[in-house]
Amino acid sequence: MQNNPDVTLITPTAPVATATHGGRAKCLQRLNRLDLPVPPTVALSFKAVHAIAAGQLPDLEAVLSQFDTTALLCVRPSSEDPDWGGPNAVLNIGMNDERFAALTAEMGEQAAAALYLRFVQSYAVHVARLDPDLFDAVESDGAVGLRHSLRAYEDETEEPFPQDRGEQLGAVLRSMARAWEGTSARLLRQAKGAPADAGLGLVVQEMIPGFGRGECGSGVFQLVDPVTGAQQITGRYLSQSQGRDALGPGVEAIYLERDPRGPSLEELAPEAFAALKDHAALMRRKLRAEMQVEFVIENGHVHILDGVRVPRSSRAAVRIAVRLAEDGVISPQEAVMRVEPHSLNELLHRQVHPQARRDVLTSAIAASPGAATGRIVFTAAEAQASAARGDPCILVRRETSPEDVRGMHAAAGVLTERGGMTSHAAVIGRGLGLPCIVGASEIRFQTKKRQLVAPDGRVLRTGDIITIDGSSGQVLAGEPAMLEAAQDESFQTLMAWADAERDIGIRANADTPADAQTARNFNAQGIGLCRTEHMFFEPGRLTVMREMIFAETAAGRSAVLERLLPMQREDFVQLFRIMEGQPVCIRLFDPPLHEFLPTSRQGQRELAEALDLPVSNVERRVDAMSEYNPMLGLRGVRLGVTVPEIYDMQARAIFEATLEASKKGEPVVPEVMIPLVSARREVELVKTRIDAVAAAVAFERGQEFDYRLGVMTETPRACLRAGEIAPHTAFMSFGTNDLTQMTYGLSRDDAGRFMSAYVRKGVFEEDPFHVLDADGVGELLSLAVERARAAQPGITLSICGEHGGNPESIRLCREVGFDYVSCSPFRVPVARLAAAQLAI
């Protein structure tokens, strides 16, 4: 056996590797090298286990010869990644009638029976595949329980319980190897990211029983708290126990460290406790990770059975990584690599407490992370009224429209029946840092009856309390315990280390001063997209906006725009001031005008009153403005070309605000962005007018200023013609929401209805509105980058679609050579960390 790497005793020099024998075998070798008291262990490689599944057992005599002749053994799985799971461990192999008698003399009948009983039952269930119910009725412990279990086994299999240790071991190995190759185990681990051909290693270890005279028992030991990451000894210990008994539900295990709440191992066996502390500290230092130590105490002596990385919450992961680097155990770069960027979302938002009970009503698309509890409301007006009362609410809509934005501001969370990752509710939710779930089509939205019917038939009405978990997509009944956001010192330290490594800029999409402040707080390097149309939904502005839309002539329109001008100017002054000299990219008006018009009769009546017009007139105009396909209709630069007064007003507001904000501090250099361009001529036309407005403002104020004019590249044609557009612009920012929509011919507002089926059936690997499509949209991006840079080498290139905050998409952005990515303010930290990891 000594020369066989596939079945080898673990020694400091044995040929054991994670990729061939699995993580557990490798870790046990590391513990062995540290001279820790680990019982003798034989590692079986993936190859050996695969052969066992095919019916070819290794030389069992050779395996057994590594252990004491009377030793009990256990077999545990050792997959490459512990998260991929594996078959259940089987303990106490070698128990038989003879050992039972010998152990009864040594440790008493109760303890010996417990060992034998455990083995009989797990052999019966996991190896002989008997129904676990057979043993439910059996008295659970003692010699009586053992006798009943043996009889149940023999009645069912019509065979005596195997007495030979070699035969027992062979059967256990075979059943574990076959369980790994079974279809359900395969599907389960593939869902956790394991490759189809993932291998399983097995380790055969000499048992330290955990039962017997003197202080005997088992437990787990950690130097940190797995929920908070704080340095604190945690874990449990149970006398006269083995395996993970101490962690079982309802078990009266004791604390490890002295604890006012109850007895502890420190008091019971101080020497064992001190030894464990030393061992755990050594493992932390040498294995360069916080480890969960599985241990057994045998008559006061500690044995280490295993070590795994402490299972941890996201906030604990950040604290642990930073602390390890601060203690010099790992480098800051390694700390940056150890935190999963997506997991930062849990720190940036409130979340449902990991240990809280979840009463799930349904699951849908997790569109904006964080958890919120509130009373159900069905309209934006109710949401505002609820906020005014100081009563948190969840705004429930079939889908949201710009008219709901004020309600969204007032709500604690949003739930919609329709929509996908880039639907209105999702985009606004992420922008506001508001937990949001969309596409909850399994719930019946009976908005007229003002109620929801959950898939299980439960009816929820206005005022009922629900919780939405925008991180998992679960809608929960009632109010589970929450964990507050935690941007503590460790978080700040980790982000600073990430920034030192990053080689791509990160800006934020921010529409309001509040968004801009969030962007600043998260250290965004400017605003990459300010969607100005959202500013027109502020109270008091919507009516003016509607008057502008209803103006019959250009002169009439300009007159109303005059009234909007000071409001827009003030918006921009505030943004510039908050951003303190950092770049601010303002996108000119983009949506179809009719989005601003009232759709309900009541709304139309109110507008008629405000404009002093007959309702029929309002209705006619609203009708006349409707389009068959508004997302492809009169919007974006097409409005700029056909109704140029709107862009004139916005440009003036931007430039006047520039001069105003430049009075104090650094001069502001605004970036003005033209949306939805598809042809060079569009840029020329708009540019001419905007240059003229800039010249007029400079002349009127007697003061020069700089500005940069750019194009939002979000149509396939603009990508293809980037070479002829680029010379007219200082920058191009890729709007990948519309670009994805148009490249696929897939409505971003409707795709949610069938997206999950498409992903499930493998048509799309991922929702392309969530993760940038590297093949199709990605090819357009790289073509555009190449053509734009060839035509204008100094051009700034970036992305401002929702993909800008998605780690997988940031990889592509970096590869095609963007200067920066811009994403929702709350995704800025995720993007900073993801970008740093790509650069390390």
Cβ distance to Mg ion smaller for residue 206 or 738: 738
Q: Which does 736 bind (CB under 5 to 8 A by kind): ligand PEP, Mg ion, none?
A: ligand PEP
Q: Which of 735, 752, 778, 804 binds Mg ion (CB under 5 A)?
A: 735
Marked catalytic residue, from 800, 803, 813, 823: 800
| Smallest distance from Mg ion to CB 90, Å | 58
Residue nearest to ligand PEP (CB): 735
What would the two tokens of residue 306 be? 């295993």
Instruction: With beta carbons less than 8 A apart as the criterion, state whether 796 and 775 touch.
Output: no
**Residue 439 interaction partner, one of ligand PEP, Mg ion, none, beta carbon < 5-8 Å per kind:** none
The binder of 674, among ligand PEP, Mg ion, none, by C-beta within 5 to 8 A per type, is none
Radius of gyration of the chain (CA): 33
The smaller minimum CB distance to ligand PEP, of residues 297 and 527, is found at 527
**Nearer residue to ligand PEP within complex by CB, 407 or 735:** 735
With contacts defined by CB under 5 A, how many residues of the chain interact with Mg ion?
Answer: 3
Give which of Mg ion, ligand PEP, none residue 93 binds (C-beta under 5 to 8 Å, depending on kind). none
| DSSP string for 780-798 | HHHHHHHHHHHH-TT-EEE
Given the complex with Mg ion, which of 524 and 742 has the nearer CB atom? 742
27 noted as active-site residue: no
How far are the Cα atoms of 245, 467, 560 from residue 39, in angstroms, in the given order? 19, 49, 84
Residue 801 binds what, of Mg ion, ligand PEP, none (CB under 5 to 8 Å, by partner type)? Answer: ligand PEP
**Helix segments in 551-600, DSSP class H:** 554-579
d(CA 394, CA 169): 57
Is 424 marked active-site? yes
Q: Cβ of residue 631: shortest distance to ligand PEP, in angstroms?
A: 9
Report the residue number, 124 or 529, with the smaller CB distance to ligand PEP: 529
For Mg ion, the closer CB: 320 or 799: 799
Choose among Mg ion, ligand PEP, none what residue 373 binds, the Cβ cut-off being 5 to 8 Å by kind.
Answer: none
Q: How far is the CB of 824 from ligand PEP (least distance, A)?
A: 10
Q: How far apart are CA 450 and CA 140, in angstroms?
A: 52
Q: Looking at 279, 409, 424, 770, which residue is catalytic?
A: 424
Nearer to ligand PEP, 63 or 427 (CB): 427
Question: Which residues here bind ligand PEP, judged by CB under 6 A?
Answer: 427, 529, 531, 590, 714, 735-738, 800-801
Task: Select the binding partner of residue 531 from Mg ion, ligand PEP, none (C-beta < 5 to 8 A, by kind).
Answer: ligand PEP
What is the rounded distance in angstroms from the CA atom of residue 538 to the CA atom of residue 526?
Answer: 23
Q: Minimal CA–CA distance to 63: which of 45, 50, 78?
A: 45
In angstroms, the Cα distances linking 117 to 130, 141, 150, 833 are 15, 7, 8, 51
Give the shortest CB-366-to-ligand PEP separation in angstroms: 19
| Crossing angle for the helix pair 183-191 and 165-181, to the nearest 10 degrees | 60
Per rule CB under 5 A, is residue 738 in the interface with Mg ion? Answer: yes
Element (H, E) at 515: helix 513-521
In the complex, what is the shortest distance from the CB of residue 720 to Mg ion, in angstroms, rounded to a whole number?
Answer: 17
Of residues 226 and 735, the one with the C-beta less far from ligand PEP: 735
Closest CA to 305 of 21, 36, 6: 36
How far are the Cα atoms of 421, 540, 542, 544 from residue 614, in angstroms, in the given order?
40, 22, 19, 18
Minimal distance, residue 780 CB to ligand PEP, in Å: 13
Whole-angstrom CA distances from 231 to 18, 190, 202, 224, 324 are: 29, 34, 33, 5, 11
| Nearer of residues 145 and 735 to Mg ion, judged by Cβ | 735
Q: Residues with Cβ < 8 Å from 371, sequence gap 6 or more?
A: 349, 350, 351, 352, 413, 435, 467, 468, 469, 470, 471, 482
Q: Could you say which of ligand PEP, Mg ion, none residue 189 binds, taking C-beta under 5 to 8 angstroms by partner kind?
A: none
Tell the smallest beta-carbon distance from residue 734 to ligand PEP (Å): 7
**Residue with nearest beta carbon to Mg ion:** 738
CB of 737 to Mg ion, least distance (A): 5
Site for Mg ion in 659-718 (CB under 5 A): 714
Site string for Mg ion, 16-55 (x = CB under 5 A): ----------------------------------------
Q: What is the DSSP string of 701-729?
A: HT-----EEEEEE-SHHHHHTHHHHGGG-
Cα 127 from Cα 157, distance rounded (Å): 12
Structure token pair of residue 640? 């700029």
Smallest gap from Cβ 674 to Mg ion, in A, equals 12
Smallest CA-to-CA distance from 441 within 450, 425, 452, 427 is with 452
416 vs 467, beta carbon nearer ligand PEP: 416
Binding-site partner at residue 800 among ligand PEP, Mg ion, none, CB < 5 to 8 Å by type: ligand PEP
Q: State the residue for tokens 């066989």.
A: 4
For residue 810, how far is the Cα from the chain centroid? 15
Alpha carbon distance, N-terminus to C-terminus of the chain: 42
Question: In the block, which residue shows the tokens 């053992």?
Answer: 146
Distance of closest approach, residue 789 Cβ to ligand PEP, in angstroms: 21
CA distance 361 to 9: 51
Footprint of Mg ion on this chain (CB under 5 A)? 714, 735, 738
**Catalytic residue annotation:** 424, 800
